[in-house]
Structure 1
């Protein structure tokens, strides 16, 4: 009776996926989840005029829009809470689990918004249910961005961390493009009555396929190699939050200072400009949505370009450029947009996308570099979450209020420029930014 040879004596064991394959898989998995997270925020912002009529009592149109924008801001209030919860989980248990949980929460609540009763059927319960859904979505996004951006940077080759990190903002903006595009198609395909009665629900229900894909991809990803190293050395922080504020509070404040200029500029373009074009300038829905989709598509490509440039020239020079442009461009760009024609509205948005894309290309790798692996997701996520809640979530409301109080259609430009100036001072004065910028 012949004795069989051991399996490894006759054929080599299957080779594990190489680092490049794992990195690409991680980029796709993290990016899909990011896209879902911001797909919902885009469709909510794009449908603000419709939602304001359906979920709030009839009356003053401005009050209805301000109420809807305030509800939009509610989603940002929970971001710091989500960042704290998910950050601790990611720094103690690894990046994979919170990434899966975050995309699950966002996907489920997005679908639930699509089946919610409106004010004429449920009365005050309708806006309350919408508020709860927005709170849960804010919790999800608060845990998502810091975790996914850190995960991407930790999977990146050393000299390509800017490019890999930029995929976090690239994918989130791509989700915004997808959301705006879906709303545009529905606006073109349906009558106003159909859109207001049932068509507005479709974009939210389409979040289900993205949920399924995102969960599947994130279930299959490998853990961050940097976290695995910390885990193997038993060097995880027992209390990431305590360690963060005891030892890395300067980096935390630096992130907040950079978020001021970035979040206000990004939120103006991604959450406010469509309402501005339609409600203030009076442009009809189809051309207004078309300008947003076209400009955002160009902007999302610029994000990757600036991510690459930050690898080549350093994060700090790219951030300085972003700050300077965010100071000088808003006023002339809003003047151009204010001309009201399709070409001028598109051109103004395209120019404003340059500083936003520069910020989005540089900050993920920079923020990740400001914190050690043991508290990276907590530091990145909590600081970014507070910055988003304080600045991005309130931007559409503040911008609308400034126009109403001043009577000037270009009042939001001064808000953007002032924020950009503060962030420029932070970037130039921070020694930690200088050390972490390469």
Structure 2
């Protein structure tokens, strides 16, 4: 495969470095809000199941809730195409502004929805539509943030800088888990079903306004600006991707698939797993997840710094091996029936998770040239998220219900860790990347 040309980044003088840090902070903060808004649904899923899908079978209600949860993933590729075109044609900044407006608006409106008891079947329909709008936004946010930071960051620090995307994304999930835990602790169950579930969604409104103000003040990336000034933008980046970069797109899809399986099994589904499968209280379940994902948020930048030394491929390889080796003991501890052991077990599971997050986000932008980079990262990651994010919680719930085997999520993580390892070692070579030294250093 021929090498892909790469625009030389500007010299990392003091002014550029200052702007790079600001750009990283603003982009990452937006990702924090995106992940908070997107993940809070999963942390209050058990309550939403009762409010929007009342039935005598709690498992059926939960499965219906996960179906709505999954609709957001089904439209993510459409969001990737839409926001990718904006980002590759009109600028990364424009895409990042649009995505945070859509996500926060949809989350805020979710808080105002009438329940099934009030308007019947229209309640879950409207819930699904707003969830789809969140999915459109999420389809553009990750590609935009990863591309934007990659094009600002000094070459020797790209792994570290980009690692702040998943790190603060995890903090967004921690914030969602924390609010859910606080609500479950302070609000009686009847009140939680009446109005308490709305509070986490309402917080999306002020957070979104703050992020919008910040993103309106940032500059576009110098690499995109240079390309645009030379008239090198592409009118239809998604067409260009499928015409000339199909192989690269496929590799990004598989890398993103493993990362999303790890994300939505290991940090979102586990909240429901603890409360409905392992019989912890909702407050205990949310607290366990809060502790674990907060620890993961601290581990991910350390993994990013390690990636700056050894390269993204070696970092990803280590993460997949860790999934294979550590996931089973992690879930055995979770299943031991002890709160402290459950916390320790999920913390153990955060080790491969942190390595995988840092490696995935750093590697994806390196597969594509600047004119299709936003679209390539966004679309490849979103298609991986459709299967990894939408399918994994539903499949895990269904398999546990029908087999009675509470270790099903562990087996899923181990299988996909092996898949990622096979794809990475079997297909990703130096000549498939725009910056081989960054991936292999």
Q: Distance in 1 between matches of 2:212 and 2:14?
A: 21
- Correspondences of 1:265-344 after superposition (within 5 Å): 265-344=262-341
Q: What 5-or-longer segments of structure 1 have no aligned partner?
A: 1-15
Of 26, 31, 56 in structure 2, the residue corresponding to residue 29 of structure 1 is 26
- Correspondences of 1:71-150 after superposition (within 5 Å): 71-150=68-147
2:9 maps to which residue? none
2:160 maps to which residue? 163
Q: Per-residue deviation at 1:20?
A: 2.2
| Contact 2:257-2:381 within 8 A present in 1 as well | no
2:376 maps to which residue? 379
Instruction: Describe the shift of the 1:106–1:17 C-alpha distance in structure 2 as closer, same or farther (beyond 3 A).
Output: farther
Moved more, 145-154 or 19-28: 19-28
2:8 maps to which residue? none
Instruction: Say yes or no: does 1:216 pair with 2:245.
Output: no
Of 167, 191, 195 in structure 1, the residue corresponding to residue 192 of structure 2 is 195
Q: Per-residue deviation at 1:17?
A: 8.8
What RMSD in Å do the two structures reach over aligned CA positions? Answer: 1.4
Of 143, 159, 183 in structure 2, the residue corresponding to residue 186 of structure 1 is 183
Of 311, 331, 343 in structure 2, the residue corresponding to residue 346 of structure 1 is 343
1:11 maps to which residue? none
Residues 317-367 of structure 1: CA distance to partner in whole angstroms, max 9, x if unpaired? 110000111122222211110012111111111111111111111122211
What is the DSSP-based 3-state SS (H/G/I as helix, E as strand, rest coil) of the residue aligned with 2:169? helix
Of 10, 13, 16 in structure 2, the residue corresponding to residue 19 of structure 1 is 16
What is the DSSP-based 3-state SS (H/G/I as helix, E as strand, rest coil) of the residue aligned with 2:232? coil
Q: Distance in 1 between matches of 2:206 and 2:298?
A: 24
| Contact 2:272-2:285 within 8 A present in 1 as well | no
2:10 maps to which residue? none
Instruction: Say yes or no: does 1:403 pair with 2:400.
Output: yes
What is the DSSP-based 3-state SS (H/G/I as helix, E as strand, rest coil) of the residue aligned with 1:18? helix
Moved more, 230-239 or 122-131: 230-239
Instruction: Say yes or no: does 1:177 pair with 2:174.
Output: yes
Q: Distance in 1 between matches of 2:184 and 2:405?
A: 29
Q: Per-residue deviation at 1:134?
A: 0.4
| Contact 2:38-2:134 within 8 A present in 1 as well | no
Q: What 5-or-longer segments of structure 2 have no aligned partner?
A: 1-12
Q: Per-residue deviation at 1:190?
A: 1.5
| Contact 2:396-2:408 within 8 A present in 1 as well | yes
| Contact 2:32-2:170 within 8 A present in 1 as well | yes
Q: Per-residue deviation at 1:28?
A: 2.0
Q: Distance in 1 between matches of 2:192 and 2:408?
A: 32
What is the DSSP-based 3-state SS (H/G/I as helix, E as strand, rest coil) of the residue aligned with 1:222? coil
Aligned length: 423
Q: Distance in 1 between matches of 2:150 and 2:267?
A: 24
1:390 maps to which residue? 387
2:248 maps to which residue? 251
Q: Distance in 1 between matches of 2:403 and 2:199?
A: 37
Instruction: Say yes or no: does 1:366 pair with 2:372.
Output: no
| Contact 1:42-1:177 within 8 A present in 2 as well | no
Q: Per-residue deviation at 1:273?
A: 0.3
Q: Distance in 1 between matches of 2:259 and 2:104?
A: 26
Instruction: Describe the shift of the 1:65–1:233 C-alpha distance in structure 2 as closer, same or farther (beyond 3 A).
Output: same
Q: Per-residue deviation at 1:166?
A: 0.9
Moved more, 168-177 or 110-119: 168-177
Asked which structure has the greater CA Rg, the reply is 1
Q: Distance in 1 between matches of 2:66 and 2:380?
A: 23
Instruction: Say yes or no: does 1:67 pair with 2:64.
Output: yes
TM-score, length basis structure 2: 0.94
